[in-house]
Structure 1
Amino acid sequence: MGEADLNRERLELALEAAGLDLWENDLVTGTVTRKATKTFLELGFTEEEIVSGLQDVYGLFHPDDLATVQSAVSDHMSGVTPQYRCEFRLRAKSGEWVWYANYGRIMDGHTDTPGKRLIGVTFNIDDRKRKEDEIAQINRQLREQNALLQELNTALEQLAACDALTGLSNRRTLMEMGARECLSTGQLGQPLSLMVVDIDHFKAVNDAWGHLAGDRVICAVAQACLARSRTAVDIVARFGGEEFVIVLPGIDAPSAMRLAESLRTGVSDHNVLVDGDGACVTVTVSIGVATLYDARGASFEELVNTADKALYRAKQAGRNNVQSAVAAESAARAEAHMLLDPGQTQGSSALTN
């Protein structure tokens, strides 16, 4: 046996051990000088079919992979890439698609002379690709599950932070956000106003029309509060039952009073549909307003309590009324001054107004 035959046997053994199938194309004549016989046998074709019926190799490529293969060949032929590398699917005789890879290079080439042969190997990568696909599918499912979990967590956080009936912030969220707002406005030296809004004679609505009608009234007043608030600036919360709180950063007492009066008239002018037969009710609200001009060291709870006391005075004044804590404190100081000096009537009147 000559040296050439020995080298050929050695090459065949090495290719077999590596699972590689050698092929060769004549670039001058365009003919296949060595077919990837092992690959075609692996795909279920007989040797006779390989010889007679598989001249159009491209016909076996998956339609989605064909352009990629042709582009890889063209890039190597034109010198864009130093080797021809590509992964693709071939159709087995059974119709199943099997993953393979090609590695090849133009041979017999010189600096100024194009090569005459394209020689390469084909090898089966189906197991690896299927595992990659399984991993990709698992990762895709994990991403989808994580996205769903994030949505659920967001929804749970929203539920925990919001009142279920109105969608407004709930009491716990109000106290947390209000405390932060109190600190922030104090650092900025801005005023902080707060309104406590209560629906007048709400129990009578429930007694006359039922709790579903009462819920509609609560939602209507909640919307009226939202309509007079600044998005992403003010805090609007359901404080409990038929009571609401609106936090107004940067708003002074006169502006807060005007806003409260607008809310009061807006609610009293609105008819709330309470049943499917078109029945409507009209309700009114009483509002207490409090303003901090220097929130440094102040407690948000104290601000709420101060506005709540003003609300109590609004109800004492006959309901459907707005009272300001600042005005009430001024009136109290004026009254005390009158008791000490009854002759100062005009001055006390000026303080009250």
Structure 2
Amino acid sequence: MEKPDTIRERLDLALEAAGLDFWENDLVSGTVIHKATRIFSELGYSDEDAPYLVDDLLSLVHPQDIPVIKEAIEQHLQGRSAQYRCEFRIRSKSGDWVWYANYGKVMDGDNQAGRRFIGVTFNINDRKSQEELLKRTNRALHVISRCHRLIHNIDDENELLQEICRIIVENGGYRMAWVGFAQNDLEKTVEPMAYAGFEAGYLEKLHISWNDAEDNDSPTGKAIRSGEVMVIRGIANNPDADSWRSIALERGFSSAISIPLRIEGQSIGNLNIYSDEYHAFDSEEIDLLKQLAADLSFGISHIRNKIKARITEETIEHLAHYDALTDLPNRTLFSHYLQQALAISKRSNSRFAVMFIDVDNFKPINDKLGHDVGDLLLAEVAKRLRLSLRESDIAARFGGDEFLVLLPTIESDDDARIVADKIADSLRLPFPIADNAIRISASIGIAIYPDNGHDENYLIRNADMAMYKAKREETPVCFYAE
């Protein structure tokens, strides 16, 4: 029969080989029969530290895990669990949190039931790390999926940025997220555009810049300058966080990542994410978040391109119907309004007027003062035309120094004369252009529907003829008369 010492030696070797640290407590006397000490060497503590740490083990346990340990022990001692099992974190000498597990059971001893509390402590950090990796990976995948759907369903850039930040925080479990755009001002600032999560004035206090000053340790600035992802793990001890450590820790930020947003090869800004986990942002998580940033960059580019296309389309549409110099409707759009007036007047048996206006002696002014001054004069004439008309009236540029006006509703010829006189009086006032007080006059011809024509061509032609009669008679306004 083997000696007890031999059996004990083999048991110790088996426990060591299995990575198990044995412990035993006497529940009757309250004494510790065998202390777990091996874990302290694993955690980097010296042999001199171990005796003191054993007696005050809970001081090394993560504060969130202490209630968990106590509850597990209570459950087992009260017989509500067949075995005591608990997982918890212990602070290592370096300050890292390392995961351990306790498995134990209350057993009989010295003819007393339930006297001995025996168990083992062992390192589960690798398993927990894999679980955390899987959790973070799944979390990032979920965020990417949600954001991908969002990117294709939002046309407003600000709304897109805000929703992306919200999803990162709410669905990704991160502490805070924000998007900033690089500005090309003298200080090369980074302007926050959207954020979600526990911000609490963080961005206002940060004063972020992407300049290349030696004391600029901002990961946001570095990522924009380099176009590379910047990761800061362990903000509490990382020298790259010296200038912003305190305000980050106040908000529970333990790690941070800054991912450049790139469009057409240029960094336009950053997606910035903060975690309360010390060792967040492993390589797999970084790759997924880089994909998210690429998707966001695509979304921003897509929205901006759509806006550019819409502006281009609207510009082309505008140029097709408005005069480039005066921004008045051109002949094509005026024709459309005139056709509408004809249709309405025919149905309602109402009257309207068409005016043909020519700027007198424009050519000598244009030749003397130059085409630039001539263009400015025509633009000012157009402005005075608008100011002289009623809200329902339409002014258009016919070409050169000639303009058309449509009065879509008149009760009598006098209504048209009142407007024409107002136009003529307005145009006789001097035009202060390029250090010149330019004086002009205008000849205005008027044709009335249905008296002077029943279609567009006749009405414009007859108004033109009336304008020439006004010129010949040297009178500002003349009505068409057969």
Mapped pair 1:177 → 2:352? no
Mapped pair 1:87 → 2:172? yes
- Contact 1:198/1:285 (CA < 8 Å) preserved in 2? yes
Mapped pair 1:143 → 2:196? no
- CA-CA distance at 1:244 after TM superposition: 0.4
- CA-CA distance at 1:26 after TM superposition: 5.0
- Contact 2:430/2:438 (CA < 8 Å) preserved in 1? yes
Q: Given the superposition, is the C-alpha separation of residues 131 and 209 from structure 1 closer, same or farther in structure 2, using an over 3 Å criterion?
A: closer
Mapped pair 1:34 → 2:81? no
| Range 279-288 or range 200-209, more displaced | 200-209
Mapped pair 1:163 → 2:323? yes
**Map of 2:458 onto structure 1:** 302
**Map of 2:363 onto structure 1:** 203
- CA-CA distance at 1:223 after TM superposition: 1.9
Question: Which of 444, 447, 463 is 1:290 aligned to?
Answer: 447
- Contact 2:446/2:478 (CA < 8 Å) preserved in 1? yes
- CA-CA distance at 1:272 after TM superposition: 1.7
- CA-CA distance at 1:243 after TM superposition: 0.6
Following the alignment from structure 1 to structure 2, what is the Cα–Cα distance between the partners of residues 229 and 28?
A: 85
- Contact 1:198/1:243 (CA < 8 Å) preserved in 2? yes
Structure with higher helix content: 1
- Aligned residues: CA RMSD: 4.0
Following the alignment from structure 1 to structure 2, what is the Cα–Cα distance between the partners of residues 131 and 228?
A: 59
Following the alignment from structure 2 to structure 1, what is the Cα–Cα distance between the partners of residues 171 and 363?
A: 78
Aligned partner letter, 1:305: R
Q: Given the superposition, is the C-alpha separation of residues 271 and 298 from structure 1 closer, same or farther in structure 2, using an over 3 Å criterion?
A: same
- Contact 2:388/2:426 (CA < 8 Å) preserved in 1? no
- Contact 1:168/1:237 (CA < 8 Å) preserved in 2? yes
Following the alignment from structure 2 to structure 1, what is the Cα–Cα distance between the partners of residues 451 and 381?
A: 30
- Contact 1:191/1:250 (CA < 8 Å) preserved in 2? yes
Name the SS of the counterpart of 2:326 in structure 1.
coil
- CA-CA distance at 1:161 after TM superposition: 2.0
* Residues 258-306 of structure 1, C-alpha deviations (whole Å, 9 max, x = no match): 11012112222x0123433xx32311111011121499x9322221112
- CA-CA distance at 1:198 after TM superposition: 0.5
**Map of 1:110 onto structure 2:** none
- Contact 2:393/2:407 (CA < 8 Å) preserved in 1? yes
Name the SS of the counterpart of 1:256 in structure 2.
helix
| Residue correspondences, number | 241
Following the alignment from structure 1 to structure 2, what is the Cα–Cα distance between the partners of residues 24 and 155?
A: 64
Q: Given the superposition, is the C-alpha separation of residues 26 and 176 from structure 1 closer, same or farther in structure 2, using an over 3 Å criterion?
A: same
TM-score normalised according to structure 2 size: 0.43
- Contact 1:169/1:236 (CA < 8 Å) preserved in 2? yes
Structure with higher strand content: 2
Determine which structure has greater relative contact order: mean sequence separation of CA pairs < 8 Å that are 6+ residues apart, divided by chain length: 1
Following the alignment from structure 1 to structure 2, what is the Cα–Cα distance between the partners of residues 99 and 127?
A: 16
Name the SS of the counterpart of 2:335 in structure 1.
helix
**Map of 1:69 onto structure 2:** none
Identity across matched positions, percent? 24
Q: Given the superposition, is the C-alpha separation of residues 27 and 306 from structure 1 closer, same or farther in structure 2, using an over 3 Å criterion?
A: farther
Q: Given the superposition, is the C-alpha separation of residues 99 and 25 from structure 1 closer, same or farther in structure 2, using an over 3 Å criterion?
A: farther
**Map of 2:402 onto structure 1:** 243
- CA-CA distance at 1:30 after TM superposition: 7.5
Name the SS of the counterpart of 1:291 in structure 2.
strand
- Contact 1:209/1:274 (CA < 8 Å) preserved in 2? no
* Residues 52-74 of structure 1, C-alpha deviations (whole Å, 9 max, x = no match): 9x9xxxxxxxxxxxxxxxxxxxx
Name the SS of the counterpart of 1:311 in structure 2.
helix
Question: Which of 253, 256, 263 is 2:423 aligned to?
Answer: 263
Q: Given the superposition, is the C-alpha separation of residues 35 and 86 from structure 1 closer, same or farther in structure 2, using an over 3 Å criterion?
A: farther
- Contact 2:373/2:433 (CA < 8 Å) preserved in 1? yes
- Contact 2:389/2:419 (CA < 8 Å) preserved in 1? no
Following the alignment from structure 1 to structure 2, what is the Cα–Cα distance between the partners of residues 126 and 275?
A: 61
Following the alignment from structure 1 to structure 2, what is the Cα–Cα distance between the partners of residues 141 and 96?
A: 25
Following the alignment from structure 1 to structure 2, what is the Cα–Cα distance between the partners of residues 48 and 225?
A: 79
Following the alignment from structure 1 to structure 2, what is the Cα–Cα distance between the partners of residues 35 and 178?
A: 84
**Map of 2:350 onto structure 1:** 190
Name the SS of the counterpart of 1:245 in structure 2.
strand
Q: Given the superposition, is the C-alpha separation of residues 213 and 133 from structure 1 closer, same or farther in structure 2, using an over 3 Å criterion?
A: closer
- CA-CA distance at 1:125 after TM superposition: 5.9
**Map of 1:324 onto structure 2:** 479
Aligned partner letter, 1:299: D
- CA-CA distance at 1:35 after TM superposition: 4.6
Q: Given the superposition, is the C-alpha separation of residues 287 and 48 from structure 1 closer, same or farther in structure 2, using an over 3 Å criterion?
A: closer
TM-score normalised according to structure 1 size: 0.57
* Residues 174-231 of structure 1, C-alpha deviations (whole Å, 9 max, x = no match): 2233223322343344322111111112222223333333223322322221111234
Aligned partner letter, 1:244: F
- Contact 1:24/1:33 (CA < 8 Å) preserved in 2? no
Unaligned stretches of 5+ in structure 1?
A: 1-22, 38-44, 55-84, 101-123, 330-353
Following the alignment from structure 1 to structure 2, what is the Cα–Cα distance between the partners of residues 217 and 49?
A: 77
Aligned partner letter, 2:324: A
Q: Given the superposition, is the C-alpha separation of residues 88 and 127 from structure 1 closer, same or farther in structure 2, using an over 3 Å criterion?
A: farther
Match runs of 1:21-100 below 5 Å: 26-27=67-68, 29=70, 33-35=86-88, 49-51=96-98, 87-89=172-174, 92=233, 97=257
- Contact 1:190/1:294 (CA < 8 Å) preserved in 2? no
Aligned partner letter, 2:299: N
